[in-house]
Amino acid sequence: MTKEIEQQRRIVELERLNGELAKQVVEAEQRAAGIYEQYQVLRYVIENSPTQHDLLFLKGRIKLLEETLDKEVSGWRFKIGKKYQEGKGDEGCQQSKK
């Protein structure tokens, strides 16, 4: 009986964590979409830029945006990997299927 109760608690906790993670993923996707939009605008301006100074400035901005996006993606990979290592990955999925 105690084992069943503990399994139910674990399933509820995993569902809560899954919901939180899904919300965070949506937020990250929205931030990434905003970054990508800025990136596209800057790319367009670079291709049509009249001066060398503008080109250098905009190339620097693109590099900064690329680094920001890389950090965002790396952060999510780390968080997902950490949850997986804590047993909240496949193990949790298998338990919720039972």
d(CA 37, CA 62): 11
pLDDT in tens, 34-52: 888 888 888 887 777 667 7
**Closest CA relative to residue 79, chosen from 37, 22, 32:** 22
d(CA 76, CA 61): 23
User: E strand or H helix at 89, and its extent?
Assistant: none
Categorize the per-residue pLDDT at 18 as very low, low, confident or very high, splitting at 50, 70 and 90.
confident
Higher pLDDT, 34 or 87: 34
From residue 95, give the alpha-carbon distance in Å to each of 4, 6, 11, 12, 58. 11, 11, 7, 11, 50
